[in-house]
Amino acid sequence: MDNNKEDNRTLDIIDEDLYEEIDEEELYELVEEERKKALAKAKERREQKKPKSIFPKWAFWLIAFALAFNVVALLPQTFSIPAIDFLITSTKLSAQEDIKEYKKAVVVIETADSKGTGFAINEHGTILTNNHVVEGEEHVTVAFPENGLYDGEVVAVFPEVDLAVIETNGENLPHLTLAESTVFADDEKISFIGNPLRFNGIANEGTIIGYTQLSSWEEPVLMIEAPVYRGNSGSPIITKDGKVIGVIFATLDHDEHGKVGLFVPIDYYYSAFEK
């Protein structure tokens, strides 16, 4: 571990609520506004290409269907912001077979007043998430995308590394595989899946930057360059070989890299259980 690069930091602007400079209502308004613009633009193009002769109805409906089916492709041409780009990226990634399988094991964790992400690590539905997602709770609701709702009991919390374990006592549930240790290459590409803002099951990708030392933590954590939003707390960091090497827990305004996501190395999960 490179523990010395950030040892002299005295103040970390860290946000465990994973806040980005765009709120949920604004995001929805922007997406809806750009959807309407894209439809209007498509209609204008269609009318400009309309021949003077009688247009066959079957051809009209064929074009209308094609335009409606491809409306998402028009969004980047009219408006491009990270809040829209991350949805488009998720749509593309979610078409991949491996991502489809990973998503089955990523759950929504709901308490009385919050929502976060977790993921199953065995077929019995043992869930790994952040401590701050379930803090103060003994029972939570766990929702699997294809297996429905489960009552989850918080059986272990490790606040020093912001991790928690939930048991659902399920059977034959989809799950992810934990790496034996947090090993990665420089600038390695990773994927992660979570429930940001009001969306569920959003897949995205990013690049590992390296370790940083937070003033409020004894152990260094890892930074990623990626679109991390509120609700991504508890999202698994997945390598190309399908192994989980960490858990997203916060964002940070870094002096050098700007807004970055932070994740807890999976090594800390193993170490916490050994204590």
| Residues 50-106: tens digit of each pLDDT | 555 555 555 555 555 555 545 444 444 434 455 577 788 898 999 999 999 999 999
Predicted pLDDT at 18: 61
60: tokens are: 């009209």
Predicted pLDDT at 76: 43
On whether the CB atoms of residues 71 and 163 are closer than 8 A, the answer is no
Predicted pLDDT at 88: 84
Sign of CA dihedral 240, 89, 146, 263: positive
Compute the distance between CA of residue 169 and CA of residue 191 in angstroms, rounded to an integer.
28
Predicted pLDDT at 75: 42
182: tokens are: 């947090």
Predicted pLDDT at 8: 40
In the block, tokens 């259980």 appear at 273
List C-alpha distances in Å: 248 to 33, 52, 188, 228.
Answer: 31, 58, 16, 9
Q: Where are the alpha helices (DSSP H) in 94-240?
A: 97-104, 131-134
Q: Which residues of 149-168 are buried (b: 16+ CB within 10 A; e: fewer)?
A: ebebebeebbeebbbbbbbb
Predicted pLDDT at 255: 87
Residue % of the chain over a pLDDT of 70: 71
Predicted pLDDT at 113: 83
Stretches in the chain below the pLDDT threshold 70: 1-39, 42, 46-83, 275
268: tokens are: 């800390």
Predicted pLDDT at 197: 82
197: tokens are: 């803002």
On whether the CB atoms of residues 269 and 161 are closer than 8 A, the answer is yes
Compute the distance between CA of residue 142 and CA of residue 152 in angstroms, rounded to an integer.
6
Predicted pLDDT at 71: 47
Domains of the chain: 14-21+178-274 (2.40.10.10), 24-80 (no CATH), 103-167 (2.40.10.10)
Using DSSP bridges, classify how beta strands 139-144 and 177-178 pair: parallel, antiparallel or unpaired.
unpaired
Q: How many CB atoms lie within 10 A of CB 244?
A: 25
The torsion of the CA quartet 109, 110, 114, 117, rounded to 10 degrees, works out to 10
Predicted pLDDT at 7: 42
On whether the CB atoms of residues 125 and 149 are closer than 8 A, the answer is no
Give the E-state strand segments of the chain in sequence order.
14-15, 106-110, 115-120, 127-129, 139-144, 148-158, 163-167, 177-178, 189-194, 202-212, 221-225, 236-238, 243-254, 258-265
Give the total residue count for the chain: 275
Q: What residues pair up with 166 in beta bridges, in sequence order? A: 127, 154
Output DSSP code: residue 176.
P
Compute the distance between CA of residue 92 and CA of residue 191 in angstroms, rounded to an integer.
12
Predicted pLDDT at 112: 85
Predicted pLDDT at 211: 96
